Each structure stands twice: as C-alpha cells, then as structure tokens.
Amino acid sequence: MKRNSRLSLALHTLSHMADDPDRVRTSADIADHAGTNPVVVRRVLGRLREAGLLTSEKGHSGGWKLARKPERITLADVYLALDESLVATANEDSDPVCSVEYALHRRVSGVLREIEQSLVKRLGETTISEIR
C-alpha cells in the first residue's frame, strides 16, 4: 500500500461490506482481502466507528458490520470520518511577517477551504453502494 491508503482502504472495505450488509467481518478477514495488517484495519475502521458508520463487537465471534444501510453512507461521511483535509492546509502558524503578507495568507487559506468544501459536497453525492 502507498499513499492515501486510509481513504482507499476505507472505501474498499465499505464497498465490500455493502455487498452483504449483515455479515460480520473480522479485521483479519478484511486485512487479508485488502492486503494489509489487522491492526491497520482496526485503526482505520475505528475512526469510521467513531463517526457512527460501523459497529464492532469484541470477543468470540465478534467483528465489524455496517451501522446503517449502505445507501445511507456517502463518501463525504467517510472522508470526514477520516479527517483527511486533502486540500486545505492545516493552520500555518508562521509569524505574520507583515500585515499585507498576513492578509494574503488568509486569502489563500480561504480559497483552499472553499475548494475543500466543494470537494466534500461532491463526495456527498455518492454513496458506498454506488461505487461503480
């Protein structure tokens, strides 16, 4: 696996789950299919659970399952759950050299945030059951 693997892994897994929503899957199963490690899977799916997209059960015969119908989980849900922020840069805590420079900074950041928002909007138009 390479870059952006969190989003890729998440979509991969969810899309797979959408094919048979009631089946419970272990992180080991999922890791096998995705070609990675169970701990990595739990790490990523843990975030999706925090966001209410998945449920997990501990103990014998435990595992992972969709928390709602696949038609009601959008790519935006996934993206936001992972807290990716692909476009917008984090806070730039560089010292504001001069006020003009600071204003320019703010303008650029504003544009990037705007772009990020339009990305999320686009992601909201597709559900995991529509991955074709």
| Cβ contacts of 7 within 8 Å, gap of 6 or more | 78, 79, 82, 84
Among 19, 20, 22, 61, binds DNA (CB under 7 A): 61
- DSSP-derived letter for residue 57 is E
Residues 6+ apart with CB under 8 A from 95: none
Q: What is the total count of residues that contact DNA (CB under 7 A)? A: 28
Nearer of residues 42 and 84 to a second copy, judged by Cβ: 84
Residue 38 is which amino acid? P
Q: Would you count residue 36 as binding DNA (CB under 7 A)?
A: yes
- 33: tokens are 């299919």
Task: Provide the mask over 91-130, with x wherever binding to a second copy is found by CB under 8 A and - wherever it is not.
Answer: -x-xx-x---x--xx-xx-xxx--x--xx--xx--x----
Burial of 107 (0-12, 13-18, 19+ CB in 10 A): exposed
Question: Considering the complex, what minimum distance in angstroms separates the CB of residue 27 from a second copy?
Answer: 16
* Contact partners, residue 33, CB within 8 Å, separation at least 6: 12, 16
Does 109 engage in binding with DNA (CB under 7 A)? no
Output 83 or 114, the one with its CB closest to DNA.
83
The footprint of a second copy (CB under 8 A) covers 1-5, 7-8, 11-12, 15-16, 32-33, 35, 75, 86-90, 92, 94-95, 97, 101, 104-105, 107-108, 110-112, 115, 118-119, 122-123, 126, 131-132
